[in-house]
Amino acid sequence: MIEDKVYAASSILVVGAHAFDAEVIAGPLAAAAVKRGASVTFLHLTMGEQGHPCLVPAHYCVQKEEEAGRAAGRLGVTLRSLGLHDAFLPSDDETALKVCDVVRELKPEVVITHWHGSWHKDHRAAAHLTQTGIFFAALPTIARDHAAHTPSLLLFGENWEDDDGFRPEHLVDVSDGFDAWTEAVREYELARGLSSFPYVDYYSALYRLRGCLRGTRHAQAFAAASHSWNAGSGLFAPPAGKGSSR
């Protein structure tokens, strides 16, 4: 069961296009996993600094860095940022190698990112960069600072902007993490009325709705990578018991 695999992990990496994306696609799960002893890292590819109607991006970037730090503290997760530019997130091999480096350094068993079916170009790029980064991370012939590593599970989280073709294949009980998530997202001005989109209402209702179907108070939905992608990326890892990090 996916839920058992997620909560058995000692290291989980969540890759989001903009600060606040990781918090919604896996925030309650992250808090619940931390409570169970896991180490969870949020990798914000950009800070989402173009999203303020009044502040110039440079100023909003500073604000979002502070908000992201406080939110991470509430969830108990570690933060990483690649410092790339919001709305201009490159979807190329050079950037995927930066994601590869984080995967190799942290050696997560579970990686969670965006579903690729999104209206937002940065979200599509984040999904692509994460899959390509994992592909590069698994290839021992690619020499980087850290040794090759293959996560054992890649999941795509639920985000209102990434709804094109998303299927809630797996529901994970995140009841233990919901209260921390509620406090964490309110650290962001984005969740306190900056946006016309009612983020807190939407995601609170969504996690509750998924919980109704899971039989728990709250749950988060995830789609899995294809069988062929899982098998293909795993081919590059050493055999189990022969130095594999899996």
Q: Which residues pair with 155 in a beta bridge?
A: 112, 224
**Least CB distance to Zn ion at residue 134 (A):** 20
Q: 81: how many CB neighbours lie within 10 A of its CB?
A: 16
CB of 64 to Zn ion, least distance (A): 11
- The binding site for Zn ion (CB under 5 A) comprises 17-18, 21
Q: In terms of CB distance, is 21 or 67 closer to Zn ion?
A: 21
Cβ proximity to Zn ion, 120 vs 146, nearer residue: 120
Residue nearest to Zn ion (CB): 18
Q: How far is the CB of 123 from Zn ion (least distance, A)?
A: 6
Of the pair 84, 138, the CB lying nearest Zn ion is at 84
Nearer to Zn ion, 17 or 185 (CB): 17
Pick the closer one to Zn ion by CB: 100 or 190: 190
**Least distance in angstroms from the C-beta of 187 to Zn ion:** 16
Q: Smallest distance from the beta carbon of 34 to Zn ion, in angstroms?
A: 23
